[in-house]
Amino acid sequence: IAAYGKARYDDEGVARRIVGMTADITDRKTFERRKDDFLSIASHELKTPLTSLKAVLQFLNLIKDQPFTKRHVQLIEQANRSMDKMGRLMDDLLHVNRISEGQLQLQKTWFNSARMLEGCCSSVGLNADEECAVTGDLDLELYADEQRLGQVVINFITNAVKYAPGSPISISIENLGDQVKITVADNGPGIPEEAKSQIFDRYFRASHSSNEYTGLGLGLYISAEIVKRHNGRIGVHSEPGKGSSFWFTLPLEDRSKR
Ligand code: ADP
């Protein structure tokens, strides 16, 4: 609680009245603390791939005159992964700015939902048949911003890979008549009850994950904003120890009316 007060004095300069107000600033304090944590984590997260990239380039420079070997290829691949990681971090940071300035623009087109979801699996290096099965209404066509929705799905999948290592991931498409529901499920540790209402907040990271795994606490916040802009809903169903199912819904458009 913060208190602000001002004394009112009479003609003799004696304080007669105190006018004041109190305000609960717990939320603001929590937000500020998360933001401070965020800045130090963000710099650390960017520094790690940068350091790795520098080391790789130095090493490549040392062996640049030697015949091209498997080692060269491995180093180049490692450099690529570091660049991709930094690219994703920068994308998140840019998106957060755009969202808070109300500038997230959607570019809607018609596309096949199953193909989009399978594309998400392969873009994070998962085999759509074995590690990331897509089931349900595979023919469903959606009218939405394919790239942004892909970003939501990729966030769900990369979180499942990160927080539920080794667990199979399954993706389902449900046609609910006037809406579609897309769910990404894992068999990992689940979300603690007290964290569920906050995981879609900016900078929030549940305590079960913050020490063990790195992250900026932005992925689900950005995902929620993208889904809201599509007039959909987003949520999670999870029981601790029994995995998590992250889902979102979108209103279905009638293609014949377009
Ligand atoms: P980040 O992964 O960068 O921390 P996110 O916004 O993507 O940020 O996720 C917020 C938090 O939600 C994570 O810190 C983690 O505690 C929790 N979380 C997200 N996905 C999962 C999952 N599949 N299993 C368990 N916890 C999860």
Of 183, 187, 205, 212, which is best to mutate to test ligand 1, by the most ligand atoms within 8 angstroms of its C-beta? 205
Residue 212 scores a pLDDT above 70: no
Going from the Cα of 69 to the center of ligand 1, the distance in angstroms, rounded, reads 39
HEC states along the chain? Answer: CEEEEEEEECCCCCEEEEEEEEECCHHHHHHHHHHHHHHHHHHHHHHHHHHHHHHHHHHHHHCCCCCCCHHHHHHHHHHHHHHHHHHHHHHHHHHHHHHHCCCCCCCCEEEEHHHHHHHHHHHCCCCCCCCEEEEECCCCEEEECHHHHHHHHHHHHHHHHHHCCCCCEEEEEEECCCEEEEEEEECCCCCCHHHHCCCCCCCCCCHHHHCCCCCCCCHHHHHHHHHHHCCCEEEEEECCCCCEEEEEEEECCCHHHC
Average pLDDT over residues 165-179: 95
Residue 151 Cβ inside 6 Å of ligand 1? The answer reads no
What pTM, to 2 d.p., does this model score?
Answer: 0.77
- The tens digit of pLDDT for each residue in 65-102 reads 999 999 999 999 889 888 888 887 888 888 888 887 88
For atom 16 of ligand 1, which residue has the closest CA? 206
